[in-house]
Structure 1
């Protein structure tokens, strides 16, 4: 096993970190004009289409390089919310079009989505259908020569500012896995309305909101993957998102760990830097242990995805490991700083940004259920002793 990234990937990541520090900082809150300005800069830098094939305007990177790139982005920008929006756009929206889109759909959407001209959002979640996607109530009925969609979506990343939506809807009630269909819908389509950005505990730089559909007409050529392929499209997007998106959190953890080490070396109490006290130094070692362990799992998941294997278990394990490590590292970074940790700064920001990571892309509890199924639990009735 070679744990070193190729030299060209290392150079690409170093350049991205420097670029993000210089141009993608932001204020940590969502300001529409500034968000789109930084978005277009990210597009010119090639971030938004990193894993999109070159013939469609992307860079053609594999999953391992994509995780490394997202890690570099997380190190470079303190606005983890912006990095989260970038990753959700790329992995939950562009990659489904890459894998399920028709040639015409790829030609129409991918170059502009990769360049930063357009912003995408994948509308899956509803208030009554989060982890249970088959409980969704948004309906798509074929009427004449178009589908008509009605329903509402919630907690949709990039919804308040998106130009293009991938919307999941029920086309066969009670049809289970084959009862859902994905649609590509442009903002401004009559009957399609995005709500304002939520006021969230974390990831405040990422605009998240609701999407309402009231008799939205969509032509058949905007069906993604064919009728009944919605669950497959969703699974494909999660395959990429649960693996590569969490690279942003690796970078954020690295950035905060480095600043915590620096703080512990400079902060003097009782005549010595606090890093000299075992209680502090051991806590910092635990921070490093959690981060590096999670990093290994995430790159393992990326390697499985890159070779075309079934990475469901590895992506689930990595998602749990990264999210839990990020929350704990945020708590420990605050603990090392003491009172300064609960004022505005890197430590408390990381903790707020890390809390949602336990929930999105499938809650950690759902990930454990998925892993348990692969171990044979929940499939067979219990045998009588």
Structure 2
């Protein structure tokens, strides 16, 4: 399997990196401090063709593959994990699912506006009593005439406070369990739909997170995404891609942590010399680099496999590889930011050095998109069921 990044992909990496350095890095600390995502940034991201990187050209995007999407999110995560998280939810959880499962009319109605930054999307799955147990959702959708009426709530939803559309899972036939779930496209202005609050977090501040509330929310039957009672297929189809894209964001955080540690250790002097010359500091830098490189190639391999499967190929090994990629990367990055902060010493524990942001942001990746515990269970189940796969 060829995991080399092409010249075109390198060009895209460079372009995204330059955009982030120009438009986001100068305000990254401000975004974190004020817990606010600049409204004008969405259209700037659209103009830079970042929001449509994974959407087909006929719907206003660039039509790149999963690996390229991962490379984009990696570069964004190196500068501002908060911006990366909101963009990832918009282009992956919303746009990707919409393109893969929507009908032609739905795709033409929403995707061009997502790509341009005119509208923002989110995905509503997690509920107060349904996190790791995703199919245990309690939100219901009852059909009356040509409409469905949704009742329930979703929580910890990235982009909820600013989203114009939400892909929402609800049970149309609760007695059927997982086989009675349907996905819907819900617009911000629909009657009975509201966002109850903006949830304040310790990390990824600036990426708005909130609760979606449905109180007899009327949704036209034409806004069913996919087929009625087939929402589990929509849900599961995008999970492998979601895991590798999220892993790319986490990798960016790890790279930033290593960069900051290396820079600081070459400047900081103790006992008459730079601390980068101390053996224990060298060991930390070497371990961080080695583990991040291992993460990189695991992620890139998973991205290629997920991309092949996403485009109609048959894949089984991708399920455990994608889960392994985010599992290993998330835990590697948690260690990396911890060691980077340790190298910074007392300064790292202050709000004056950027490592504090990455330190707080990193933990999410052991929790979001399926906890580390769930990932381990998934990998083990796949091994028991299908073997090693090579």
TM-score range, shorter chain: over 0.9
**3-state SS, counterpart of residue 32 of structure 2:** coil
Q: Work out the CA distance in 1 between the residues paired with 2:151 and 2:280.
A: 57
Measured in 2, the distance between the counterparts of 1:119 and 1:31 equals 20
In structure 2, the partner of 1:68 is 71
Which residue is equivalent to 2:388? none
Is 2:161 the counterpart of 1:160? yes
Query: Unmatched 5+ residue regions in structure 1?
Result: 378-385
Supply the distance in 2 between the matched residues of 1:117 and 1:343 (Cα, whole angstroms). Answer: 37
Q: In 2, are the aligned partners of 1:93 and 1:237 still within 8 Å (CA)? A: no
Deviations 1:287-338 (A, max 9, x none): 1112111111111110101222331111100011111111111100011011
Q: 1:320 aligns with which of 321, 324, 327?
A: 327
Partner of 1:8: 8
Aligned to 2:198, what secondary structure does the other structure show?
A: coil
Q: Is the 8 Å Cα contact of residues 92 and 241 (structure 1) preserved in structure 2?
A: yes
Q: Give 1:195 shift.
A: 2.4
- State the shift of 1:179 in Å: 0.9
Which residue number in structure 2 is paired with residue 52 of structure 1? 55
Bigger Cα displacement from structure 2, 256-265 vs 146-155: 256-265
Q: Residue 290 of structure 1 corresponds to which residue in structure 2?
A: 291
- Aligned residue in 1 for 2:239: 238
Q: Is the 8 A contact 2:3 2:301 kept in 1?
A: no
Per the alignment, residue 114 of structure 2 pairs with: 113
Contact 2:35-2:205 at 8 Å conserved across structures: no
Deviates more, 1:194-203 or 1:28-37: 28-37
Contact 1:239–1:312 (8 Å) recurs in 2 = yes
**Cα shift readout 1:111-163 (whole Å, capped 9, x = no counterpart):** 00111000001000001001112211100001122100000111001001100
User: Contact conserved, 1:88 with 1:245, CA < 8 A, in 2?
Assistant: no
Match of 1:270 in 2: 271
Partner of 1:380: none
Query: Within 5 Å, which residues of 2 pair with 1:1-385?
Result: 1-25=1-25, 26=27, 27-29=30-32, 35-75=38-78, 77=79, 79-308=80-309, 309-310=315-316, 311-344=318-351, 345-376=353-384
Give the direction of change, closer, same or farther, for the CA distance of 1:304–1:34 in structure 2 (3 Å limit): closer
Distance 2:186 2:243 in 1: 24
Q: Could you say which residue in structure 2 is the equivalent of 1:383?
A: none
After TM superposition, the score normalised by the length of structure 1 is 0.94
Deviation at 1:239, TM superposition (A): 2.2
Cα distance in 2 between the residues matched to 1:307 and 1:263: 41
Q: CA RMSD in A?
A: 1.6
Structure 2: which 5+ runs fail to align? 310-314, 386-390
Question: Is contact 1:134–1:176 with CA below 8 Å preserved after alignment?
Answer: yes
Q: C-alpha distance in 1, partners of 2:20/2:334?
A: 23
Contact 1:95–1:240 (Cα < 8 Å) also in 2: no
